[in-house]
Structure formats: C-alpha cells, structure tokens
Structure 1
C-alpha cells in the first residue's frame, strides 16, 4: 500500500485555529492592501527627517535672536520629530501578523502608539510653547538679531511644505480611491499616521506664519508682547491638533465601525446571496488601518441545508473580500429573522 503524503493529512486538508481563519482566496492581490502602508511609512520618514533638521535650525536661530516664538517653533519641530518616531513604531508594530496570543492581529497596537504621539504633541509642544509665550509677555526680555530667524523661517517653510505636499498627495490619491472628498477621507480613514502627518505639517506651516508675524510686529513696534502672543498662538494650535488626533485614535482603540457607506455595501453584498432572506444584525470593527472584522446574523431560507449555508458563507466572504480587500475576518451566524428587516445605515456617519 502507498503511504499517505503529508499534503493529504486531515490537519492540512481541514486546518484549525488561525489557519482555519485565513480568508478565502479572493480575486484581489496582496499588493493592493500593502501599497498604502508602504506609502504611509515613506510619508512618516520624510516628515521626521525634515522636522529634525528644522528643529535644530530653529533652536539656533531662537537662541541667537532671543525670540520666544522661534524657541516655541523649535519645540514644535522637536515634538513633531519625536511624534514621527512614535508613528513609525505604530506602523511597524501594527503590521505584525496575527498569532494565537493576538488572533485578530496587532493593528490596535498601532493606535496605541499613535495616541501616545498625540499626547506627546500636547505635552511637549503645546505646553512648552504656551508657557514660554506667557513668560515672554510677562518678562518682555529680548535680545539678538532677527535676520537669522527670518532666514530659518523661510527655509523651514520650504522643507515643511515639501513634507506637507507628500502627505497631501497621499490623501488626495486615497480619497480618490474611496470616491470621497479629501476632508471626508481624513475624518474617516483608519490610517492615523497619514492623518497625523497631514495635520502636523499643516499646523507647522501655520505656526511658521505666526512666528514670522510675531517677529515682524515685535521688530516694528519694539514690544515683546507680540513675540509672546505668537508663541502662545502656536501652543494653542498644537493643542487643537493634539486633541483631534487623540480623539480619533481613542475612537479606533475602543473599536470603531466602518463608514456608513461601506456598512451598507457590505449589507447589500450579503443580501445578494440567493439563499439569504435578511441580515437583521451587521456589526463591523476596524482592527487596524488595513484590517476589518465583519460579524452578522443572517437569516437563510428555511429549506436550505447545512451544506448550502456553508457554500453561501464562503461565497459571501469572497464577494466581500473582492469589493473590500481590507476585510480580514467574516463571521456569519445563521439566525431567524424577517424578510426585508435588514440592518442598514449602521457604521459611522461621515
């Protein structure tokens, strides 16, 4: 008698555990979901490198001129640099594959690091800028030459603008793929790294304008109050950015649903299966920037067999994965329902 080859063992023909949870092979390719992640890594690296060089230049200019706004801008850029480090760690840690200890993957760990980055922006950037600005308004001390500050502001604006344009291109490209406006994409995207870079670079450009205005008014009037006010304004700006990013990451950490439009399309695909009568409950969760969990109670035709339900469930997963490559897990629970009673308009309203 011939021996049974390892490829024909029951465990390999009928896998269990995480192997059994692997999604059915859809018509899409893995490169579709990996490309945005690689683009996000590049965006973060470019932003981090730009911020590091800018922070050093601003610090030197601030020490030479004695400008509170320039010192605040140096703290701003340093905070952004450290933030980019946290975001890079978030991308790498969140991309780890699932294991038995973390069966749904490490996507939410990326949100933890991104949340820490937002808090650091608040503490390291906003707090220091507001404090330093208030002290300048109270003390009113200033010495040194303004020229170097103006030079650094111009160079910094060019560098920050380059980083911002890269983030803006990524936002424009991905929003086009989603078929929505860039602002709506920024609100709904689970990729908090590109959102963080976009908002931080936007705040950096506005901060440079504020610093320049503070320096100019101080030089024209001889009153250091304007320099201090500019520093406080930069701090308030950073505070707003930190709050926006912290709120977004906290929502994703708790377990945010997919956008309403995506929710309804998922319900539509499930209802298009011939033996499906209704989908009374449809729950979704963003597990990470590129991973979505779908769980639904599905009412099947009463006369169908267990084999029919298994085949329909496989077909449903294939359809969903073909339309949304980010869907990683699909769990369907056969349940009694009523025809036409479907869970629609769920998810987040964008």
Structure 2
C-alpha cells in the first residue's frame, strides 16, 4: 500500500512535468521558428525529449507493478530501470544531439543574422522558466517527503530533467540577450552547444544508474553488513560463509546466504531454523522479500 501511494504521487509529479513540457515545447518551437533562434530551437528539442521521456516513465510506473509469473518469478520491478534507460537515450538523441546540431549550424551561418522576433522568444523562455521551476519544486518537495524517493528512477529522472530544463532556459536566455546586445549569433551558438553538453552529461548519468541496476546491483554496503550481523547473531549459525544481495526493484531485494549451522540439528529442526531466520531478515528489512539460505553443518570441533 505504501508503495502504491508513493507511486501515485510520483505519477502526479510526472503528469505535471509532462503537461508543462508539452505546452512549453509547442511555445518554444513556434517562437524558435519565428525568430530563427538556435538557442530557442535547442530548448524546444529539449522539451520534446523531456515529454517523450515522461511518457516512458508513466509506462514504467504501470508495468513495474505486474505480479510475478512463470517467465519472471521475481516480478517486474526492473521495468523501472529499463524505461529510465530509454529516457536517458531520449535525452541524448533528441535533446543533446539536436542542440549540438543547432549550435554548429548557427556557427556556420551568417554571424549577423536577423534578430526579429526575439522579444517574443524571450517572453516564451520566461514563461518556460516559471513552468519548469514549478514542476521542479513539486518534484523536490516529494523527494524530501519520501524517505526512499532518492531510489525511485522515475522521480530522479523528473528532477534531473526539470533541473536541466531550468538551467537550459537560463542559458538560452543568456545567449539570446547577448545576441541582441552584440548582434553576434556566436553567443546563441555557444548557448546551444552548452545546452547540448549539459544534456549529454545528464543522459550519461541517468543511463549509468539504470545500467547498474539492470545488470544487478547489490544493496548498500552498510545494509549488507547489517544483514550479515543479524545472521551472525542467530544462535544456530556458526559462520556466514557467503552473502550475496541484488536489488530487484524499489521494494524487492534478493538475499542469498551460505551459512554453517552449529552441529547437532536434525533435518526437521534445520527446516524450522531456516524458516525462522528468513522471517527475521524480512521483519528487519521488508524489502528483502526474496531470501534464500544454503545451509551446511559446521564441522565438529
């Protein structure tokens, strides 16, 4: 229930960001085409990329709740990371690459090209700054309210996109203003290239995080140490020979341990001990819902 409530809030946050980006993308595109501003067109591509990515995140929120089945016995929790990876690719291709293209195209064009329509473009960017800032404030507010919000790839992606969008709008405004003041388009070209670099960096960071979780990331070393300590403190366990963990989703973790029991237990007692230890681990860390113990008997002294 707690996860469903948290995902409901995240869904609203993503929808708010999606609505803002769709409106802003259209406004930026119209303003950019009217003024011929490469920085404004770069920001339009940025908003389009963010809009597509937010659709990916909505799909991730829905599909990650599917129950386990024969083909996916551990559930679909990693769907979040797959769609987060696609979102990172979208930021790179639709946002970063197009911004680079606009910057290079501007440098290759007339350095004293027309600046007609820039006033309307700047107004569009001011409105975009307010909208993106409002979406970012909502996402940050949710992050502060939820203890595990920092691990949610959907929420992290929205925060990364909104933060980048706010900075990108500021860069675009600076480039346009300097173009107006100096009459030289190189300032806007530099703004477009900087926005492209920023988007590529954000895409890299988000993509790396998604990759780490998709290929199987262990829990934090502190949590792993606490699990090992709990196992060591069980009176029946003589030694913890190995402990492996892997995150299967936001609220699902696999724990596999090879433990040596003290000698003297029959098979029925071993089974009961195993069940009790698993329950102890799950009670201490509810996210450890997949616990497997490989039981061996310690050699007698």
The verdict on a shared fold, with TM-score over 0.5 as the criterion, is yes
Say whether the 8 Å CA contact 1:157–1:208 is kept in structure 2: yes
Contiguous gaps of at least 5 residues in structure 1: 1-30, 179-184, 339-350
Change (3 A) 1:35 1:335: farther
- The aligned residue for residue 261 of structure 1 is 222
Alpha-carbon distance in 2 for matches of 1:284, 1:118: 26
Alpha-carbon distance in 2 for matches of 1:294, 1:59: 50
TM-score by length of 2: 0.93
Say whether the 8 Å CA contact 1:296–1:331 is kept in structure 2: yes
Matches within 5 A, 1:28-107: 31-107=1-77
- The aligned residue for residue 324 of structure 1 is 285
Q: Deviations over 1:32-86 (max 9, x none)?
A: 3333322322222221111111111111111222211001001000000000111
Say whether the 8 Å CA contact 1:58–1:152 is kept in structure 2: yes
Q: Does residue 238 of structure 2 align to residue 289 of structure 1?
A: no
TM-score by length of 1: 0.81
Alpha-carbon distance in 2 for matches of 1:32, 1:271: 31
Alpha-carbon distance in 1 for matches of 2:101, 2:224: 45
Alpha-carbon distance in 2 for matches of 1:274, 1:42: 48
- The aligned residue for residue 154 of structure 2 is 193
How much has 1:336 moved relative to structure 2?
4.8
Q: Does residue 146 of structure 2 align to residue 168 of structure 1?
A: no
Say whether the 8 Å CA contact 2:253–2:289 is kept in structure 1: yes
Alpha-carbon distance in 2 for matches of 1:299, 1:169: 47
Answer with 84-93 or 270-279: which moved more: 270-279
Change (3 A) 1:33 1:316: farther
- The aligned residue for residue 244 of structure 1 is 205
Alpha-carbon distance in 1 for matches of 2:199, 2:264: 61
Say whether the 8 Å CA contact 2:80–2:154 is kept in structure 1: no
Alpha-carbon distance in 1 for matches of 2:260, 2:5: 37
Alpha-carbon distance in 2 for matches of 1:304, 1:142: 87
| Structural RMSD (CA) | 1.9
Pick one of 163, 180, 187 that aligns with 1:219: 180
Alpha-carbon distance in 1 for matches of 2:7, 2:197: 31
Contiguous gaps of at least 5 residues in structure 2: none
How much has 1:271 moved relative to structure 2?
2.3
The secondary structure found in structure 2 opposite 1:99 is coil
- The aligned residue for residue 264 of structure 2 is 303
Give aligned pairs, total: 298
The secondary structure found in structure 1 opposite 2:132 is helix
